[in-house]
């Protein structure tokens, strides 16, 4: 155990040798049964992880699944804040994250101690935080939201209610435009959604005149203003199924394209091009998880998400508020 603690501190995952003759998919399925485990995966995971998951979804869907699962172990194939959310909603369950270092640049852009000071400047404001933040930040919030319900959560509050929105300034700006509300925004952003080139997207649109351009609301305004559809990862996926177009230019992390292709054989999905030729649409945090790390996490039941009880207690209320509003609205 001590050796594992050292490994987790240094590497963030269990680095135990795996017999190369093993069929990992088969072994993971055996462990799922043996340990009564469920694998929840975000759309930005590697295709081989998505294919072995019991549930694949956006942040809202994953939270809803984490809240209602009767499995004893939740293996979260996603990033740290998502696994924390699962732990907050199911505190008696063991929540495993294949690589503890799978963080999030957006979550990192909002340190809780600085946000607490920011919040003090607006004592008569309600705090809505995007789920892409730490458990400590959620504990400082009144309501959590995801990209699929942020607009509706803001609209569920009285028109004269003053609101702080964080940490994503792009999603916050989008919600401002959609609702006409004047939100006070924290200045955070996602490293993946801020790289897209308007000029190169424009050229692609000329090249594929029938293509639909779809974007995640974490993108900047000048990109969103060009989009035929804006939505969460689940929203984007559904749109590609509902539309007759045969080509889609996709401005979000490229992992979602795996499900788009599976759901739409014959349609073409082009990742929106980044500004810089060296950049790509892969989230380096999401992509830290591998099938091997997931297998070892299930084998050794490590790394496990552990949160102080008082943080779980305080962070749970704003997440539950979001789930209640979403349920009422049928989201
Ligand atoms: P959704 O899956 O909720 O659309 O969020 C995207 C994201 O950036 C997750 O990190
Ligand atoms: Fe965070 Fe952006 Fe990666 Fe999502 S895509 S986990 S917001 S860094």
Would you state the pLDDT for residue 86? 96
Of ligand 2's listed atoms, the one at least distance from the Cα of 252 is 5
Would you state the pLDDT for residue 279? 75
How far is CA 215 from each of CA 4, 104, 272, rounded to the nearest angstrom?
41, 19, 9
Question: Would you state the torsion angle of the CA atoms of residues 274, 280, 282, 283, taken in this order, to the nearest 10 degrees?
Answer: -80
Ligand 1 center to residue 147 CA distance, Å? Answer: 7
Would you state the pLDDT for residue 280? 84
58 and 269 Cβ atoms separated by less than 8 Å: no
Ligand 2 center to residue 224 CA distance, Å? Answer: 17
Q: Provide the residue ranges of all domains of the chain, joining segments of one domain with +.
A: 2-104+285-306, 106-190+314-329, 192-271
Task: Read off the pTM.
Answer: 0.96
Q: Could you tell me the pLDDT band of residue 277, with boundaries at 50, 70 and 90?
A: confident
Would you state the pLDDT for residue 276? 85
State pLDDT tens for residues 30-65. Answer: 999 999 999 999 999 999 999 999 999 999 999 999
Ligand 2 center to residue 105 CA distance, Å? Answer: 6
State pLDDT tens for residues 67-104. Answer: 999 999 999 999 999 999 999 999 999 999 999 999 99
Would you state the pLDDT for residue 1? 66
Average pLDDT, the chain: 96
Ligand 1-lining residues (CB < 6 angstroms): 58-59, 132, 146-148, 190, 216, 218, 232-233
Of ligand 2's listed atoms, the one at least distance from the Cα of 78 is 6
State pLDDT tens for residues 182-237. Answer: 999 999 999 999 999 999 999 999 999 999 999 999 999 999 999 999 999 999 99
Q: How far apart are the first and last CA of the chain?
A: 42
How is 49-114 classified by DSSP, letter by letter? Answer: HHHH-SEEE-HHHHHHHHHH---SEEEEES-HHHHHHHHHHSTTSEEE-S-TT---HHHHTS-HHH
Assess whether the region 2-104+285-306 and the region 192-271 belong to the same CATH fold: yes
Tokens coding 180: 């006409």
Q: Is 330 exposed, middle or buried (0-12, 13-18, 19+ CB in 10 A)?
A: exposed
Say yes or no: domain 106-190+314-329 is CATH 3.40.190.10: no
Binding residues: 42, 59, 104, 130-132, 147, 190, 216-218, 233, 283
State pLDDT tens for residues 114-170. Answer: 999 999 999 999 999 999 999 999 999 999 999 999 999 999 999 999 999 999 999
* Architecture of the domain made up of 2-104+285-306: 3-Layer(aba) Sandwich (3.40)
Ligand 1 center to residue 59 CA distance, Å? Answer: 6
Binding residues for iminosuccinate: 42, 59, 130-132, 147, 216-218, 233
Q: Please state, in angstroms and rounded to a whole number, the distance separating the CA atoms of residues 27 and 295.
A: 8
May I ask the CATH class of domain 192-271?
alpha beta
Would you state the pLDDT for residue 253? 97
Q: Please state, in angstroms and rounded to a whole number, the distance separating the CA atoms of residues 224 and 31.
A: 43
């Amino acid at each position: 155990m001590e050796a594992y603690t050292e490994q987790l501190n240094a590497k963030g995952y269990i680095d135990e040798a795996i017999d190369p003759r093993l069929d990992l998919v088969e072994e993971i399925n055996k462990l799922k049964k043996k340990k009564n485990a469920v694998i929840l995966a975000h759309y930005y995971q590697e295709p081989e992880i998505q294919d072995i998951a019991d549930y694949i979804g956006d942040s809202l869907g994953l939270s809803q699944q984490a809240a209602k699962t009767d499995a004893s172990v939740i293996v979260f194939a996603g990033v740290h804040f998502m696994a924390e959310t699962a732990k907050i909603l199911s505190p008696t369950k063991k929540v495993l994250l294949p690589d503890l270092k799978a963080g999030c640049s957006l979550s990192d852009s909002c340190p809780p101690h600085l946000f607490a000071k920011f919040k003090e400047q607006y004592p008569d404001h309600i705090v809505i935080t995007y789920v892409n933040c730490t458990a400590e930040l959620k504990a400082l919030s009144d309501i959590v939201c995801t990209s699929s319900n942020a607009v509706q959560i803001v609209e569920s509050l009285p028109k004269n209610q003053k609101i702080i929105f964080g940490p994503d300034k792009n999603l916050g700006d989008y919600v401002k435009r959609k609702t006409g509300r004047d939100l006070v925004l924290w200045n955070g952003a996602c490293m993946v959604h801020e790289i897209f080139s308007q000029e190169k997207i424009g050229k692609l649109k000329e090249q594929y005149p029938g293509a639909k351009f779809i974007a995640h609301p974490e993108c900047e305004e000048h990109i969103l203003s060009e989009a035929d559809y804006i939505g969460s990862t689940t929203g984007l996926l559904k749109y590609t199924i509902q539309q007759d177009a045969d080509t889609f230019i996709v401005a979000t992390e490229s992992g979602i394209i795996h499900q788009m292709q599976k759901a739409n054989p014959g349609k073409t999905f082009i990742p929106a091009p980044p500004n810089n030729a060296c950049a790509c649409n892969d989230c380096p945090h999401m992509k830290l998880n591998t099938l091997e790390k997931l297998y070892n996490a299930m084998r050794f039941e490590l790394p496990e998400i552990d949160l102080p009880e008082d943080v779980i207690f305080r962070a749970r209320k704003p997440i539950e508020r979001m789930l209640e509003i979403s349920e009422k609205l049928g989201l």
